[in-house]
Amino acid sequence: MKRIINKYRLGSLFTLLVLCSCSDDFLNAPSETQLTPTDLPEGITAFDGIAETMYFEPWFAFNDKFLIAVGDMYAGNIYSVDGAYQQFRDAQVTSQNPILTEGYVSLFSVIDQANNLMSLVEERKDELPEDDYNSLIGIGKFMRANAYFYLVRAFGAVPIVDGINTEPQPKRNLVADVYKFIKLDLEFAAENLPDFAAKRGFVTKEVAKGILAKVHLTLGEYAECANLTEQIIGGQYSLIQQFGDLFNSPENNNSAESMFALQWISIATVWGTQNTNQAYIVPFGSGITGGQDGWGVYLPSISLQEEYEEDDNRKKATIMEDGDFYPELLSSEGGFTYEKTLSATAANFRKYIVGSAAERSDVFFMKTSQNTIILRYADVLLMHAEAKLAGGSSTSDPSALNAYNEVRMRAGLPTKTVLTREELFKERRAEFALEGQYFFDLKRRGINEAISVISQQEVGFYSDVDRTELVSIKITPSANYFELPIPQSAIDTNPSLLEQPVPYNFN
């Protein structure tokens, strides 16, 4: 099957492909607006169109606020006073929170579109070569599994909507069954996706194995995780030399380190296909975007700033501190020097800032084409080290140390001869800050340990211009902190979500 869509032709597809998105009654019944081959322009198959947009369009609201709000702010990496974000900052998120609702709907939109793709492929199975059929089903299952992996870790029990004989108002399914469903999808994808990407940025067998490894790690299945990471390490993916290039230059999208990334496309006249993160991250009043966006909504918490070791070269690429100079920003003015007065925490984030429209042709108001990386090779290395720790306090396993030290050496830090549990999670926090991982890393440590860590984190702010008078804030979450509430709008549509979870019928 020919891959004939390119970024110049995608614009004409957007109004058609949004038919795959879930409506407000996304849990009331399967989508009734299934995209069919006749909906698409001549020469473009429904399979091509939906598979291509699976990498960005249905993930938009998830990426716009939810990923960072849940993955970083909720766990203490970010300070914010902006609207609905305050509930995440204070670990008191309610079921009416709009960010929570948008992310939930977006993830079920991914599931709906994945089911739609697989349904169309099944209907046209006889017209497809077997390899193309298996690969397309693999893409659908891979995307569906990723959406469910975020849902189950954030919300606990959720309904399994497989697109086949779905109940009009599905009940939530047991957490164990949701994980089983995820594993089955990823195992199929790992078996049937291509060995090498058909197009730069598309997923492969090894990518599916990488996500599956994280599922096993989340469940404490360390041997299974280590087996999968060993299959990936030393293969087609590797660390790139410059850490910052992963996040601040779209020309470096889909690098050797990037395994699964959301493939954003920035078009001046189209909304919902772009990365909006820069608009929330750029320091307010800095002029870096050259436009009216750049609000400094996400500020690095004091706790996160203190987490980095001296001489860690990741810090400047992640966080702007007083006196840091960035020649690539505001380059026409000779560069940008950061001043701590721009932030209540005396710092701003650098990650996911790409610059202004004057400097780049793919930057518009609240729009860049910078990928959002969901899985990268550094994560595989640190997952392998964690799997070898196997829940213990330390390890001197050679393969664990090799993987861990490879990440540290890229950061310009000395290697270790013994790896402790505390060091491993400290490394992950520095490596993946602002990538939506910290909450899930804490949750993986267990409730008691995570509460202890969170309650010691300084997430306050400075009240004076000189940034010396600290207003201390420390959060001690309750046990129910680790499962976010189901959005009230979903419950209003489907009251069955209030009932006790039930087993899923795998037959």
Task: List, for residues 405-437, the tens digit of each pLDDT value.
Answer: 999 999 999 999 999 999 999 999 999 999 999
Residue 271 lies in a domain: no
Q: Do 284 and 184 have their domain in common? A: no
Residue 500 lies in a domain: no
Q: What are phi and psi of 44, to 5 degrees?
A: -120, 120
Q: What are phi and psi of 188, to 5 degrees?
A: -65, -45
**What local confidence, expressed as pLDDT, does residue 36 receive?**
44
Of 44-58, 196-210, 310-324, 388-402, the range with the lowest mean pLDDT is: 44-58
User: Once rounded to an integer, what is the mean pLDDT over residues 287-309?
Assistant: 97
> In this predicted model, what pLDDT tens digit does every residue of 172-222 receive, in sequence order?
999 999 999 999 999 999 999 999 998 899 999 999 999 999 999 999 999
Indicate whether 16 pLDDT > 70: no
CA–CA distance, 84 with 330 (Å, rounded to integer):
31
Q: Do 173 and 258 have their domain in common? A: yes
Residue 340 lies in a domain: yes
Q: Do 459 and 393 have their domain in common? A: yes
User: Once rounded to an integer, what is the mean pLDDT over residues 306-323?
Assistant: 98
370, 397, 422 - which closes a domain: 370
For residue 325, what are the β-bridge partners?
337
Tokens 């991914």 sit on residue? 110
Residue 171 lies in a domain: yes
Residue partners of 251: CB distance under 8 A and separation at least 6 = none
CA–CA distance, 421 with 426 (Å, rounded to integer):
9
Average pLDDT of the chain?
Answer: 91
Indicate whether 48 pLDDT > 60: yes
Q: Do 195 and 163 have their domain in common? A: yes
Structural domain boundaries, residue 88: 13-28+45-262
CATH number at residue 186: 1.25.40.390
| Percentage of the residues of the chain whose pLDDT score is greater than 90 | 85
Indicate whether 11 pLDDT > 50: no
Of 16-25, 67-76, 106-115, the range with the lowest mean pLDDT is: 16-25
Q: Do 77 and 195 have their domain in common? A: yes
343, 370, 397 - which closes a domain: 370
CA–CA distance, 412 with 429 (Å, rounded to integer):
16
Residue 270 lies in a domain: no
Indicate whether 65 pLDDT > 70: yes
**What local confidence, expressed as pLDDT, does residue 460 receive?**
98
CA–CA distance, 122 with 447 (Å, rounded to integer):
43
Residue 50 lies in a domain: yes
At 46, the pLDDT band (50, 70, 90 cuts) reads low
CA–CA distance, 490 with 105 (Å, rounded to integer):
9
**What local confidence, expressed as pLDDT, does residue 28 receive?**
39
- The residue that leads in pLDDT, 31 or 270, is 270
> In this predicted model, what pLDDT tens digit does every residue of 220-241 receive, in sequence order?
999 999 999 999 999 999 999 9
**What local confidence, expressed as pLDDT, does residue 34 receive?**
40
Residue 492 lies in a domain: no
CA torsion angle for 276, 278, 284, 286 (degrees, to 10)?
Answer: -140
- The residue that leads in pLDDT, 126 or 260, is 260
**What local confidence, expressed as pLDDT, does residue 39 receive?**
44
CA–CA distance, 190 with 206 (Å, rounded to integer):
7
Amino acid at 133: Y
Residue partners of 98: CB distance under 8 A and separation at least 6 = 84
User: Once rounded to an integer, what is the mean pLDDT over residues 251-268?
Assistant: 97
- What is the sign, positive or negative, of the torsion defined by CA atoms of 74, 174, 496, 499? negative
Q: What is the pTM of this model?
A: 0.92
Pairing relation of β-strands 372-376 and 461-462? Answer: unpaired
Indicate whether 45 pLDDT > 70: no
Indicate whether 171 pLDDT > 50: yes
User: Once rounded to an integer, what is the mean pLDDT over residues 460-482?
Assistant: 95
CA–CA distance, 375 with 384 (Å, rounded to integer):
14
Indicate whether 165 pLDDT > 80: no
CA–CA distance, 89 with 200 (Å, rounded to integer):
37
Indicate whether 336 pLDDT > 90: yes
Q: Do 104 and 240 have their domain in common? A: yes
Residue 497 lies in a domain: no
316, 347, 370 - which closes a domain: 370
Q: How many domains does the chain have?
A: 3
> Reduced to 3 states, what is the DSSP secondary structure of residue 205?
helix
Indicate whether 95 pLDDT > 60: yes
Q: Do 440 and 324 have their domain in common? A: no
DSSP 164-180: SS--SSPPPB-HHHHHH
Q: Do 233 and 123 have their domain in common? A: yes
Tokens of 356: 């202004």
Q: Do 358 and 388 have their domain in common? A: no
Tokens of 291: 């436009």
Q: Do 299 and 246 have their domain in common? A: no
Terminus-to-terminus CA distance in the chain, angstroms?
A: 31
> In this predicted model, what pLDDT tens digit does every residue of 391-406 receive, in sequence order?
999 999 999 999 999 9
User: Once rounded to an integer, what is the mean pLDDT over residues 446-460?
Assistant: 96
Pairing relation of β-strands 319-321 and 419-420? Answer: unpaired
CA–CA distance, 272 with 275 (Å, rounded to integer):
8
Q: Extract the runs of DSSP E, i.e. beta strands, from 370-505.
A: 372-376, 394-395, 419-420, 461-462, 470-471
- The residue that leads in pLDDT, 19 or 322, is 322
Q: Do 70 and 170 have their domain in common? A: yes
Q: Do 147 and 21 have their domain in common? A: yes
